Structures are given as structure tokens and as C-alpha cells.
Structure 1
Amino acid sequence: MFNLNFTIYHYEREQIELKKACFIVPYFGQLPNYFQLFLNSCANNLNYEWLIFTDCTQQYIYPKNVKKISMSFSDLRKLIQLKFDFPISLVTPKKLCDYKPAFGYIFENYIKGYKYWGHCDIDVIMGNLDNFLPPLFARDYDKIFTLGHFILYKNNFDNNRRFMKSYKGVSLFKKSFTTNNITVFDENYHNDDNVNSIFLNDGVSVFQNDFSFNVKVTPTKFTRVTYNSKSKKTITHVMPGKILIVHTEKGLFEFYIKNSKLEKKEFMYIHLQQRMMRLNMDMHQIVCNFAIIPNGFYQLKDAPKNISEFKMLKKKTLNIHRIRLILKWRLLRIKKLLQNLK
């Protein structure tokens, strides 16, 4: 049986220095094959801390700012149920996305002393967070970002319970937490019935821009998309020809050629949603200097310094990403149709 009191006590004893933010990441089931690279990218951001609640028994090298808390999904569900006076619906781990805005309330004993808490996905590779976040912290935003793969909240009593407020007379959190369907309560994405609407309606400060290289799901090649919170539209960016994403000790960069010059643009992180990635290196040894292409990672000695070096680097390999997704979605539709016929 999961001993909540012991785990909290043990964790607080380990928390020696206060961090700028703490990310809460419950994940149950099989981890991505590049999870170690995710951990390595967190290791480069020592001013931030991650709490990974998981039932995974596979061995990884966790950096000192990432704490693994072993827990079964059943025990997590019990922990969450204790925080609410109505029966919650949480049958599968996929439904946890709707509970993300409540993590500051559910896990409040774990995040004491942090100015901000947040949640992030693990299909991401972090860049240098300190190149982006400190100016936002200085402005004292109550909520930073709007898409579920990376959101931060100011850590205080009222803010951590703001998700419970009604929006247009509807208790959105209760509506979401009592259905097995995923309601996308955690993010502002083509809908108004989400936690971002509650924060805006409450008149608190929300930063709604996007510093990520959020990869569009369907194209095989890397295409960046952003979401305009005001127009409720997804914007597909025109890519500058051949690009290469490179992770270095200084951050995460997109390299490309423009006007006969090698240019680069920094991003806070890259989101590799629904990507199967190949690994052509020993992840346990690689913390910096690796390239990210549409279906894999490979080690670099250094980032390209000129056009000649850029042209010599591999930008892509044989990739059936789009075909794989189409087949996957068709099989899911067939499975759903067969279930409806029963």
C-alpha cells in the first residue's frame, strides 16, 4: 500500500535548496524509448525540479533535480479521490491530462517553497529554460502558457484552487472529473471550456505566447505549429527550407540557411508528439550536442558553425511516420465501430 505520509516526509527532507519551479509529472505504463534523453535535458536546468510519479521499474539515471516517486496508478487514483467530495472518473492514465490543472491542489504537500509549479509532457526535450522563464516569473504571472505539454502556475493557495471556479455558470472541473471522456480541460485548444478560460474570466494575469518548437503531428518532416489563443486557430509556420534541431549545453536551436547565411533560432523545448524516434547513441552518456531529426537522434561533436558544416549533417532518414499514423488511426476507428456494434 502506498504510504503517502512517509513519501511526503522523505521528499521534503531531500529538498535542500529552493528551486524556481517544480514540474509534476504522473506517468504510468511504457515510457518513451528516449526517456533518458528527456531526463538528461532536465539535468541541464538545475534551477528547476521534476517529480515523476510512475509505476515504471526500468532503470534510468535520474539527475539530482528529477525525483522518481514510485506509485501505482491505483494508489494515485486513491490519492486524487481523497481531495474531492464526489466520485471522480479516472479509469485509465490517459484521463490524467484533464487533472493537470488540479495538480497544485492534489500534490500541494510536495510543492511547498516553490514560486511556481507546473506540468509537462515527457515526449519533449528541454532547452535552456532560464533563457525564457525568469522574465515571466519577474512579471508575476498567475499562469504561464496555455497548451498542456508545458504550463506553469503561480504557487499559492487561491491560484491552486482557481480551477474549481465556475465558468459561465458551469463547474467545468466537476464536469470533466466525472466523465471517462477526455474533455481537454487542461489546455486552451479549439475550445473555451478549459482552465485557461477560468483564469482569464477571473481577471488574473496569463501569458499566452508559445516559445516551443511544437511539431505538427501528421507531416513526416518537422513542421512547427503554434496556437493563437485569441483567434482559437492553429498556425502552421512556413519552414525555412532544410532545418536541423540541435541540443547543446547553451540550449535548443533550429539551424537553417537564409540569404546565404547560417541562421539559428532558440526554442525553450521541442514537443515530439506521437513520434517514434530512433536512437543512434548511448543516451546515458549524452547530455549535450545531439541532433534531432524527424524520426531519431544522433550525437554531434558540436553544433554547425557555418554553411559547409550544416550541409554535411544529416537532416533526415527513411521515415514512414505519416503512413504509420494513418494506419494507426484507421485501426482505431475500426475497433471503435466494432465496439459500437456489440
Structure 2
Amino acid sequence: MRKLCFIVPYFGEMPNYFQLFLNSCASNENYNWLIFTDSTKKYSYPKNVKKIYMKFSTLKELIQSKFDFPIKLTSPKKLCDYKPAFGYIFEDYIKGYDYWGHCDLDTIMGKLDDFIPQLLKKKYDKIFTLGHFILYKNNLENNRRFMKRYRGVYLFKKSFTTDNITVFDENYQNDTNVNSIFIDDNAKVYQGEFSFNVKVIPTRFIRIVYNNRLKKPITCQIPKEVLIVHTSEGLFELYIENNKLKGKEFMYIHLQQRLMRVHMSSQQGVYTFSIIPNGFYKLNAIPQDIFEFKKVRKRTLNIHRIRLTFKWKLLKLKNLIKTNIRRI
């Protein structure tokens, strides 16, 4: 197995299910994680996840030292645009690794060995295109490829000199991102995906897949009754089709903008649990038939859509007020 390390800078309070994220990492002993954070809360870190305490101001100084122009980085949220540069910024931390990557903390990892080794054998320079999970070949040229021109423009410099989020890290409804640079430079890029990427706004779990040709997310057709289960053997979607219980394995699940409750102990060593649209529940075993499936699949009050709608309207109002104040 080639050595692979994920770089994850995160500042502020960790997600309330962070220990479950760590537990899912522990199931993947062939992979390492470096988490740069200012969090002082106690967690049970597995041996393949290393916490590196760092203040946000210190990270900003480190990033600035790598560039000969003044960068804009006033908020940790802006770090998403810097993800393609992590191999360059943190190069002293990833020596000896064949690949490095970045992933988000609103994810739960499945069994990475069921998906990644087959891609590493093909020696891609870049694997995947969505910012919540991307891998890069770790060498001097590849780690600096993000700095190359695209259509006469240095996209990284344009992104790093504004406080606005430019979505430089992923191929999402734009072509002014790092993926475009790699393809334009004739790098070898894998643009498929193996994730259960949850659509943001619906309450129930609906998987979306990004279509790189159309440059937009495509909604997958899935049954209404879906249960996601995690074990030390992987992450699985369970569903009923033709009166039979069926399953499909995924590399990880991405729970973007989901308020998730942990209805179980999340201590180190807890690997088997179910994931429903607003929470995690302990499982003793994976359901083996429709009766067990329906017994495990809980229906709970979920105000996800209402909460998001209110949140977005409030944000829109705040931005409108700021704009009007500037005009006065």
C-alpha cells in the first residue's frame, strides 16, 4: 500500500460527531491524517490521526511565508480555497508520502482500501474533483501545479488575494478551479467519485453525483427508504427493492450543512452505527432482512429544511444590511 496522508486544518469548535469521524479513520490503518487545530477539547485520537496544535494566526503566517504577495485570509472558512496548495504549504509535514489529500470533517469514512488502491495503481496526478475529498501525487512538480497559468490567468493568485470564496479547490459549477489547471496541463486526473454525497436542502438522504461534463450536480434515483450503516468493514447504503433488502458500498458519506445528533456513546472503538438524516444510532449488527431494516430505520422529527431556509434568509438579510450601510 502506498503511503497516503490527509491534511486537515480546522479552527474553532469541532463538529459534535468528530469522535465518530476519528473512529471511522481508525478503521483505515493504511492511511494517516494530520489535523491542524486550535481546539483544546479532549478526543480519543487513533494512532493514525495526529493532532497538531496550531493557532489560526500561526497558520496564516505559514501560508504567507510561501507566497511573495499579500494573501487574504481573515476567516478559517476561506481555507477551502487554499486546499490545492496544502501539498506546497505543508511540504515539511508530508515528506515520505506517495500521495497527500484533504477531506472535510463533516464526513464519515468507509473502507478506503475498497476504492483507493485501484486508483493509486494507475498513477493519477490528481484523484477526484470535489473539495470534500481529493488526493494528489506528492512530488515537487505536482504540488506546485496549482500555480500554473490557466487561459493566461494565475487563478491561485486571484483567489488568494480576495476574502471572497472563489471555489478554487473544486470542480463545482465553474471551470476556474484547480481541476481545470491540471487538465489543461495534461496531468492525469480521475474525475469519478465513490461517495454518498448528500444533497443539502432535502430533509431525507438523497445522493447527488457531480457531472463534470455538464458542470452541475445530478440527483441520483434512490428509494425513499434508505438507511446508511457504518461498520469496521465499510459504509453501506441499505434499501428495499422488489421486496428484497439490498445494499451498496460507498467510500464515505458527506453530511454537508447537516445538524446531526449523536444518540449513542461516541467513544473510541465504536464502529457500528446507523446514520439517518439527523442523527447517529448505535447498531449491534447490520440488518439482514426487511423486518430488521424497518425496525432499525427510525423516523424522527427533522426540521433540517426549515432550519436551512431560515439560516439562508437570515444570511441574505445580513448581507443586504451590510451593502446598504456601505452605500450610506
TM-score per shorter chain, which class? Answer: over 0.9
2:247 aligns with 264
State the 1:338 CA deviation. 1.0
Q: Which of 71, 75, 92 in structure 2 is aligned with 1:109?
A: 92
Contact in 1 for aligned 2:44/2:268 (Cα 8 Å): no
1:70 aligns with 53
Q: Which of 1, 13, 37 in structure 1 is aligned with 2:20?
A: 37
Q: Which of 254, 263, 283 in structure 2 is aligned with 1:280?
A: 263
3-state SS of paired residue (2:171): coil
Paired residue type of 2:322: Q
Paired residue type of 2:311: K
State the 1:19 CA deviation. 6.0
Contact in 1 for aligned 2:115/2:251 (Cα 8 Å): yes
State the 1:20 CA deviation. 2.4
Q: Which of 162, 166, 169 in structure 1 is aligned with 2:152?
A: 169
The whole-number CA distance in structure 2 between the counterparts of 1:146 and 1:329 is 26
Structure 2 runs not aligned, ≥5 long: none
TM-score w.r.t. length of structure 1? 0.94
1:317 correspondence with 2:295: no
Q: Give CA-to-partner distance per residue, 1:128-186, whole Å, 9 cap, x none.
A: 00000000000000000000000000000100000000000000000000011000000
State the 1:117 CA deviation. 0.1
3-state SS of paired residue (1:104): helix
Contact in 2 for aligned 1:242/1:315 (Cα 8 Å): no
3-state SS of paired residue (2:227): strand
Contact in 1 for aligned 2:193/2:209 (Cα 8 Å): yes
The whole-number CA distance in structure 2 between the counterparts of 1:99 and 1:69 is 18
Q: Which of 199, 212, 215 in structure 1 is aligned with 2:195?
A: 212
3-state SS of paired residue (1:311): helix
3-state SS of paired residue (1:108): coil
Contact in 2 for aligned 1:246/1:253 (Cα 8 Å): yes
The whole-number CA distance in structure 2 between the counterparts of 1:19 and 1:48 is 9
Contact in 1 for aligned 2:23/2:268 (Cα 8 Å): no
The whole-number CA distance in structure 2 between the counterparts of 1:246 and 1:128 is 12
The whole-number CA distance in structure 1 between the counterparts of 2:182 and 2:94 is 21
Q: Which of 187, 194, 198 in structure 1 is aligned with 2:181?
A: 198
RMSD (Å) for aligned C-alpha atoms = 1.0
The whole-number CA distance in structure 2 between the counterparts of 1:92 and 1:271 is 23
1:253 correspondence with 2:236: yes
State the 1:239 CA deviation. 1.4
Contact in 1 for aligned 2:196/2:252 (Cα 8 Å): yes
1:307 correspondence with 2:290: yes
State the 1:285 CA deviation. 4.5
For CA contacts below 8 A with separation 6 or more, give which structure has more relative contact order: 2
State the 1:241 CA deviation. 2.7
1:21-100 matches, within 5 Å, as 21-100=4-83
Contact in 2 for aligned 1:22/1:51 (Cα 8 Å): yes
3-state SS of paired residue (2:92): helix
1:225 aligns with 208
The whole-number CA distance in structure 2 between the counterparts of 1:239 and 1:80 is 42
1:147 correspondence with 2:130: yes
- Displacement over 6 Å in runs of 4+: none
Contact in 2 for aligned 1:145/1:206 (Cα 8 Å): yes
3-state SS of paired residue (2:240): strand
Q: Which of 121, 128, 144 in structure 2 is aligned with 1:138?
A: 121
**Percent of aligned positions that are identical:** 68
3-state SS of paired residue (2:33): strand
Structure 1 runs not aligned, ≥5 long: 1-17
1:127 aligns with 110
Paired residue type of 1:79: L
Paired residue type of 1:131: D
Which shows bigger deviation, 226-235 or 195-204? Answer: 226-235
